[in-house]
Amino acid sequence: MLLFFTLGLLVHFVFFASIFDIYFTSPLVHGMAPQITPLPPPAKRLVLIVADGLRADTLYELDEDGNTRAPFIRNIIMHEGSWGISHTRVPTESRPGHVALIAGFYEDVSAVAKGWKENPVEFDSLFNESKYTWSWGSPDILPMFAKGASGDHVYTYSYDAKREDFGSQDATKLDSWVFDNVKDFFHAARNNQTLFSKVNEEKTVFFLHLLGIDTNGHAHRPSSREYKDNIKKVDDGVKELVSMFKHFYGNDGKTAFIFTSDHGMTDWGSHGAGHPSETLTPLVTWGAGIKYPQKVSAQQFNDEFLKEWRLENWKRRDVNQADIAPLMASLIGVPFPLNSVGTLPVDYLNNSDLFKAESMLTNALQILEQFKVKMTQKKESTLPFLFTPFKLLSESEQLNILRKARTSMKQEQFSEVVYLCKELIDRALKGLSYYHTYDRFFLGISVVIGFVGWTSYVSLLIIKYHSNVIRDVSKQDKKPGHLLTSSFVAIGVLVTFFLLIQACPWTYYVYCLLPVPIWYAVLREFQVIQDLVTSLLTFPVSRLIGYLFIFNLGIEVLVLSFFHRYMLTAGLTAFASWPYFTHLWTRAKITSLCWTFFSLLLAVFPLMPVVGRKPDISLVMSSGLLVLLLSLFVVISLIKRKTSLVEEKLLVYLLQMLSIALSMYVVYSTHASLFKKQGLPLPNQIVSWAILVSSLVVPLLSSTALLQRLCSIFLSLMATYLLLSTGYEALFPLVLSCLMFFWIHMEQETLQQSGVSCKQKLNTIQFSFNTDIAQFRQLHLDDIRRAFFLVFFLVTAFFGTGNIASINSFDLASVYCFLTVFNPFMMGALMMWKILIPFLLVMCAFEAVQLTTQLSSKSLFLIVLIVSDIMALHFFFLVKDYGSWLDIGTSISHYVIVMSMTIFLVFLNGLAQLLTTKKLTLYGKPKSHLV
């Protein structure tokens, strides 16, 4: 059976990885010729200022007194330059935002594995194309553009990463550091002839990355005084910077300025998803080559922003974030970044119509180059009779559009040239997307065939070994016929040959060949299939349809709960009424009432707002007090029963109660310290990490008696969860654990109903007993309900306090008891552990259910596997590559979450076994019914 689980794990890893090959491959191609506008540029140098995490509305709006927060920037909008909104794409994180701004393309998700810091695929950028680039700011952003640059012409100056502290006294110091270092740099340039000559060269870029606003937004929320004061600080810094540039360069009028942001921020201080507060960022441009303000009487925008900001009379020019890269390249006359997919916003340029037309033609040729390379690559790796070219942009169509554009250029019909170039760019971008997703359907079909085969095979295994549906003679393994074996070998050889002559990547072989052995294993069980069909024919049709309807309804509720959290409320409400439709109500009224109460109480959580939006430490304290009272009640009840609660065991409970009390103190004092801007106290940090590390060790010191061990696990995990909580979610594991406690009791009560006579008292059951209870009984229909309950509780544990399919649901404030200095991997690991704690509580309860219902974990786990795989197949079909970027990202993350859940179940099952059965002080015997 170990071999089966190993193979099952491998199969699921392949299905999981397939989504990355199908949807997350890098769109970048290499080998294009650089394209440059053949006319002198309007600017010699460019200053790019990126205020990280700055929302468009917070910059442009007026405060309560009708005054602007950024007087210098607003003056630019009204008297000197052009402005608008830069629309970002998901994921709204710092690295993808900067890549879009500076390289002109939207980051592929493969970069998430590098924490958005390193370069998984090398790419060209504006900095690389410049003569020299000097940059100042965060060590998380600057190095990736320096590493990707050819030659030694990109210089970076960054502060120490420890300065990026969300609990620091004043995050505006990060921005002050940048402005001060730029001033020092130009002061040094006056006294250094080599440096002076470099900064006076043409085609130079100065990049200022300002992280203070983002840091203050995370720490205090965008509505805070700190966030808004930081905007004023940046505005003052930009004003001084512009004055310094004018003075240094003798007011030569050859400097272009771009002020923008990489992403916005939600009201609750996070970013990563597609909420307008995250995707709408400011863009203000002025200086050489930039169009002056244009007064208008009406504007073509459906939103109400212009009236709110009182900017309705100044023309607003919106762009996509990637459009800024070609704008900057055009201003200083460098080749457009080779991988850029941005369209030059000619409306921002204050230059001749000829320059605009030539720049647009350069932009079109640069994107067309990418299209040609992509098409050639796909053509070379596809059989001629199978290759389907992109019809909207055939070679003749390309030549036709370019010929028309050049003819119009000669006739000085420049507006026509711009129109034709935009048309060519639009088609080339569609063509790039077409060739990038060329193999998607083929790979998708292969994965679905494998998926259906695997689910069928697991279903047949359950029917064959864990049910009474088929005859005993069918349970004996028979050797397959030679014809079946030969047929599948021939299919495998044909598929391999087909992929070989097309020079496909090795991953294609895995996806296409995996279904072959899976379906061979399915068809080997022909006798089981025959017996199953015979049994179903004797089953009453109405009952069969009823069972299938209920099963499908349950699956659909689970799938819908990923999109609408209130579906979990509906499901839990249905669970609450379960005892009243069975004999449970007559046999165990108090247990049934408690089950109903806690089911309805847990049903409240999915109706509440996502965690982190409204932090409330008092709720965390309340949860801690309730846990302490509950643990005190448990200890007193155990002492009264005169159980063999020796001093050592009592000491374990007291130690865990102390951990809960310490967690409450740490949460309270850390919150108070951060509120006073005194940072994270070191003793608090040490205690937090000590509690986290001990939470998986201390339960192993407690008794292996079922209820005592579960109570010990709950207390240990709850101490850590309190440290990771900021609001009402601290109550969630408490209510969930209470429901799990009564689930164990309810399942024990169902044993008599299922016809199992030997029912043990819960107080007498030991987690470490060694009877092979798999011999006691086969699966019943009730066991499918148990498996469904487990999956439903796992999904509730996942989405009960928020939709974590959305990146912006992560609240960094959750980890402030452990660390406040930005560290994406450590913070991500702590967030993941917070998510896994409710999971682990459910899995430990499931271990107890297996014991009380006298069933092996193997058979129940197989049913859970089928339910999860059917859900995963749903999400595989629901994956989108169209619509809003939020829809696309969410649909992919749903599939990833379900597949991760299936894989995680194996590891969580093992961890739950470890926590429930192992004992550090005694030589506990492992229970052999477990896989």
For CA atoms 406, 408, 414, 418, give the dihedral sign: negative
For residue 120, the model assigns a pLDDT of: 44
For residue 109, the model assigns a pLDDT of: 55
* Residue 434 pLDDT exceeds 90: yes
Over residues 183-220, the pLDDT tens digits come to 999 999 999 999 999 999 999 999 999 999 999 998 88
Over residues 350-377, the pLDDT tens digits come to 999 999 999 999 999 999 999 999 999 9
Nearest to 667 by CA among 805, 431, 675: 675
Comparing 8 with 844, which gets the higher pLDDT? Answer: 844
* Residue 828 pLDDT exceeds 50: yes
For residue 634, the model assigns a pLDDT of: 80
**pLDDT average, residue stretch 868-881:** 82
* Residue 18 pLDDT exceeds 50: yes
- Segment among 236-240, 330-334, 432-436 with least mean pLDDT: 432-436
For residue 76, the model assigns a pLDDT of: 97
**pLDDT average, residue stretch 857-886:** 77
- Segment among 261-265, 296-300, 302-306, 925-929 with least mean pLDDT: 925-929
For residue 530, the model assigns a pLDDT of: 86
Output the CA–CA distances (angstroms, integers) from residue 842 to 407, 596, 656, 795, 855, in the order listed: 71, 18, 20, 10, 17
β-partners of residue 320 are 87
Q: What is the 3-state secondary structure (H, E, C) of 281-311?
A: EEEEEEECCECCCCECCCCCCCCCHHHHHCC
Q: Count other C-beta atoms under 10 Å from residue 619's C-beta.
A: 17
For residue 930, the model assigns a pLDDT of: 35
**pLDDT average, residue stretch 732-757:** 82
Burial of 470: CB neighbours in 10 Å, binned 0-12, 13-18, 19+: buried
* Residue 733 pLDDT exceeds 90: yes
Q: How confident is the model at residue 927 (pLDDT cuts 50, 70, 90)?
A: very low
* Residue 588 pLDDT exceeds 50: yes
Cis peptide upstream of residue 515 (ω within 30 degrees of 0): no
* Residue 117 pLDDT exceeds 70: no
Nearest to 205 by CA among 258, 143, 141: 258
Nearest to 301 by CA among 317, 285, 283: 317
**Cα–Cα distance, 293 to 917 (Å, whole number):** 73
Burial of 528: CB neighbours in 10 Å, binned 0-12, 13-18, 19+: buried
- What phi, psi does 158 have (nearest 5°)? -130, 155
Comparing 247 with 765, which gets the higher pLDDT? Answer: 247
Residues 6+ apart with CB under 8 A from 832: none
* Residue 113 pLDDT exceeds 70: no
For residue 882, the model assigns a pLDDT of: 57
Comparing 458 with 163, which gets the higher pLDDT? Answer: 458
Q: For tokens 């199969």, what's the residue?
A: 11
For residue 186, the model assigns a pLDDT of: 96
At 921, list the tokens: 């002080």
For residue 145, the model assigns a pLDDT of: 82
* Residue 541 pLDDT exceeds 80: yes
Reported pTM? 0.77
Over residues 296-307, the pLDDT tens digits come to 988 888 788 999
* Residue 32 pLDDT exceeds 50: yes
* Residue 114 pLDDT exceeds 70: no
Comparing 614 with 622, which gets the higher pLDDT? Answer: 622
Q: How confident is the model at residue 762 (pLDDT cuts 50, 70, 90)?
A: low
What is the b/e burial string over 397-420, where b = at least 16 CB atoms within 10 angstroms of the residue's CB?
A: ebeebbebbeebbeeebbebbbeb
* Residue 610 pLDDT exceeds 80: no
Residues 6+ apart with CB under 8 A from 27: 105, 108, 432, 436
**pLDDT average, residue stretch 387-391:** 92
Plot region of 273 (φ>0 → left; ψ -120 to 50 → alpha; else → beta): beta
Quote helix, strand, coil % in the chain, to nearest 5: 65, 5, 30
Over residues 123-134, the pLDDT tens digits come to 889 999 999 999
SS3 call for 804 = coil
Average pLDDT over the chain, rounded to whole? 86
SS3 call for 132 = strand
Q: Count other C-beta atoms under 10 Å from residue 383's C-beta.
A: 9
Q: What is the 3-state secondary structure (H, E, C) of 245-286?
A: HHHHCCCCCCEEEEEECCCCCCCCCCCCCCCHHHHEEEEEEE
- What phi, psi does 259 have (nearest 5°)? -120, 120
**Cα–Cα distance, 910 to 844 (Å, whole number):** 10
Share of the chain above pLDDT 70, in %: 88
**Cα–Cα distance, 545 to 539 (Å, whole number):** 10
Element of type H or E holding 154: strand 154-158
For residue 89, the model assigns a pLDDT of: 87
Nearest to 918 by CA among 656, 701, 644: 701
At 898, list the tokens: 């379900």
Nearest to 594 by CA among 714, 713, 731, 743: 743
For residue 925, the model assigns a pLDDT of: 43
Over residues 661-718, the pLDDT tens digits come to 999 999 999 998 888 878 888 999 999 999 999 988 888 888 778 888 889 999 999 9
Report yes or no: 398 and 340 within 8 Å, Cβ to Cβ: no
Nearest to 137 by CA among 203, 212, 229: 212
Over residues 810-821, the pLDDT tens digits come to 667 888 899 888
Over residues 400-409, the pLDDT tens digits come to 999 999 999 9
**Cα–Cα distance, 664 to 669 (Å, whole number):** 9
Comparing 660 with 527, which gets the higher pLDDT? Answer: 660
